[in-house]
Structure 1
Amino acid sequence: MNYAPQILNYLRSSEGIREIYIAPKSVPVEKKEDKFVKIMDVIFTPDDVRDTLIALKSYAYYSGSSLGREGTFSFGLQGIGRFRVSYLTQRGSYLICIVKTPYEIPKLENLLTNVKALQPIEDLVNLRSSGIVVVTGQTPVAVSTFVYSYLQHVAQNYYRIIYIIEKPISFLLRHERSIVVQVEAGVDVETFEEALRNAFLIDPDIVYIGYREFISEKDAKNVLRLVDTDTVVFIHAPYLEKDHFLKEFPYLKKHIKYYVVVEKDKDGMLEVKL
């Protein structure tokens, strides 16, 4: 049975970042801090999980023809929020993680506890300098929400070309003073590598490379080329330790201007540390 309507209706009830897990032979739960909260009194069968996943994927801009063994997709529902859905196969059945973020990108002042901490990055953008800003944190969705909030601030206040590469797209960023180009790997182009190469076709001022489990050597060298063309590159890295990132790509060291760690407090606000 498809339980997507009930789950989306539950997520409609509050704002902020929410995280839902759906597994076979279990009730669906919401992860809150260090505990799980039951959201329905129904124990899902493997067929229930699959049918719900198919229904959720139908909302995506590019739904594709089959689920495959694992994947991610995103979609937005006005008045409810934006959703990033990830799934994998375990013992022949699907397990689903649904992360809800606000439909509209939050303003920096409503999202961060310490907006003034961003002044060094603001100076980097304002002065049209080049360099790499590595952004990381324990919660990928919190990191992407922060980056989009900052890029929205840039789009509203500066005349820049902003080039975004993600899989899937987290938010839709509007053109304002800036021109925004958003490319989804696997939809608009085949791979992240191709999307990164295409950046050189439009000479962007700012590039955002969304979350990836692995950054390849080719990608790192393309980032270096972008920096050499006076571009500020934001990288959402999986590494929580600065030394780990530098060990992987030592030749990027002198180009990394800031290493930003994003943390979420108990009230759902974000704090950044440079």
Structure 2
Amino acid sequence: MSVDMTELLQLVVDEGVSDLHLEVGAPPMVRLHGDMTPLDVPPLTAQDTERLIKTIASEAHLQQIQAVGTADFGFGFGDQARFRVSAFKQKGVFGTVLRQIPNTLLTFEQIGLQESVKDLLYRPRGLVLVTGPTGSGKSTTLASMINIINQERACHIITIEDPIEFYHYHKKSVVIQREIGVDVPSFGEALKRSLRQDPDIILVGEMRDLETMEAAVTAAETGHLVFATLHTTGAARTVDRIVDAFPTNQQAQIRTQLASSLVAVISQVLLPRADKPGRVAGFEIMVSTPSIQALIRDNKTFRITSELQTGAKYGMHTLDAHLVELFERGVISYTELITKAQDQESVLQTLRQLQQEAQQQKK
């Protein structure tokens, strides 16, 4: 019995699977709620994986795999879902991983983001960074933000992605979506060109290199609202990561530019739920204030965390504080809380304090 790609994709959509893995010598594997599970079919042969990849890849993508070993692209499965694909060669045979991109965009409430973050979407200019490890839901959060702007503001939005994940249609705004390798060669090139296309909002799928970071900061300084992602966890580390990407003689200048242009850093992780099937996002939120701007300028990012702890009135909180809150509500397990916490000792101390307060209230 040969495995059919359409049947596999239909199963992925029906079961709410996040990823589908096709490898020689193993049955198709799916990632459901964070765990890898094999499907009840025979292991795939080299002929199987090659046949399955050829049903979704274009001739140009197949040539790219032969030439450089990998091709990344997106495609639509009817009107049910889109998939982001990474097809590759390993041990001389084909393999592929497909990530499902749901068609329905989530509300802030469904994502778990507080309403105060929505204010960021109405800023006239500045840089908003959504950060976190791979697979933490950054793309979903950004797509939801763009969707809200598209529904509520009359703007010109340009997205630069590799590949395009969520399709945005013109609503109140006009949305231009450019794909790296298809419409434009690189993020840096697309960003520089976009400034001549009269944008209000620019989404940069990923700030991968120095050229892209420079262009994003410049765009934010020159009157545009720029959204971008970075593979960092926590606000302080995000600022350090950008500054460290620049040559030493430019770091003081970029700190000054970041201090004035950075509007917010939203850092997120995805965790398995303890209360029901599915996953939940944990967030750290930093909103730029005069004191945080001073810390960035003066190279004192290590003190940002204490600003977050006392910045509740600005809608700020640390990732650890949010994880403790999720644990207290029974949404995540103790193991997830401790393994994902940035400062485990501090979290344990907070839990002890909460237990003491609960005992005193019982008395």
> How many Å separate the matches in 2 of 1:248 and 1:269?
26
> Which position in structure 2 is the counterpart of 1:258?
264
CA distance in 2, matches of 1:145, 1:163: 17
Residues 170 and 246 (structure 1 numbering): CA distance in 2 closer, same or farther, change over 3 Å?
Answer: same
Structure 1 segments unaligned to the other structure (5+ residues): none
- Output the amino acid matched with 2:63: S
2-structure distance, mates of 1:127, 1:193: 23
Matching of residue 163 in structure 1 with residue 158 in structure 2: yes
Equivalent pairs: percent with the same residue? 21
Equivalent residue for 1:232? 225
Matched residue SS, 1:125 = helix
State the structure with more CA Rg.
Answer: 2
Specify the SS of the correspondent of 1:138. coil
Q: Does residue 63 of structure 2 align to residue 66 of structure 1? A: yes
Structure 1 41/2 Cα, relative in aligned 2: closer, same or farther at 3 Å? closer
Q: Say if 2:53 and 2:96, in contact at 8 Å, map to a contact too.
A: yes
Instruction: Give the match's secondary structure for 1:155.
Output: helix
Amino acid at match of 2:128: V
| Corresponding residue number in structure 2 for 1:181 | 176
* Aligned-pair CA distance for 1:152: 0.3
Q: Does 1:221 align with 2:233?
A: no
Q: Alpha-carbon deviation of 1:178?
A: 1.0
| Alpha carbons 1:10, 1:39 under 8 Å: kept | no
The secondary structure found in structure 1 opposite 2:86 is strand
Q: Distance in 2 between matches of 1:96 and 1:66?
A: 15
Who is 2:238 aligned against? 245
Amino acid paired to 2:227: F
- How far did residue 23 of structure 1 move? 1.1
- TM-score, normalised to structure 2, is 0.66
C-alpha change, 1:115 and 1:245, in structure 2 (3 Å) is: closer
- How far apart are 1:183 and its partner, in Å? 0.4
Name the structure 2 match of 1:124. Answer: 120
Corresponding residue of 1:113: 112
TM-score, reference length from structure 1: 0.86
Root-mean-square deviation (CA), in Å? 2.3
Q: 1:125 to 1:9 in 2, by over 3 A?
A: closer
Secondary structure at 1:66's aligned position in 2? helix
Secondary structure in 1 aligned to 2:144? helix
Q: Aligned match of 1:211 in 203, 206, 209?
A: 206
Give the secondary structure class of the aligned counterpart of 1:173. Answer: coil
Query: C-alpha displacement at 1:248, in angstroms?
Result: 3.8
1:184 CA displacement: 0.3
2 CA distance for matches of 1:127 and 1:217?
A: 25
Give, in angstroms, the shift of residue 160 of structure 1.
Answer: 1.4
Give the C-alpha shift of residue 33 in structure 1.
4.5
Task: Return the structure number with greater helix share.
Answer: 2
Counting matched residue pairs gives 263
Aligned position for 2:193 = 198
- Code of the residue aligned with 2:127 in structure 1: it is I
Which structure has the highest strand share of the two? 1
String of CA shifts for 1:213-241, please: whole Å, max 9, x gaps: xx222212211220122111111111224
* Contact residue 134 and residue 236 of structure 1 kept, 8 A: yes
Looking at structure 1, the residues matched to 141 and 40 of structure 2 have their Cα atoms a distance apart, in angstroms, of: 31
Hey, what's the Cα distance between the residues in 1 that align with 2:96 and 2:77? 19
TM-aligned CA distance change 1:200 to 1:79, over 3 Å: closer
SS at match of 2:15: coil
2:279 equivalent to 1:268: yes
Give how far 1:242 is off.
Answer: 3.6
Aligned to 1:95: 95
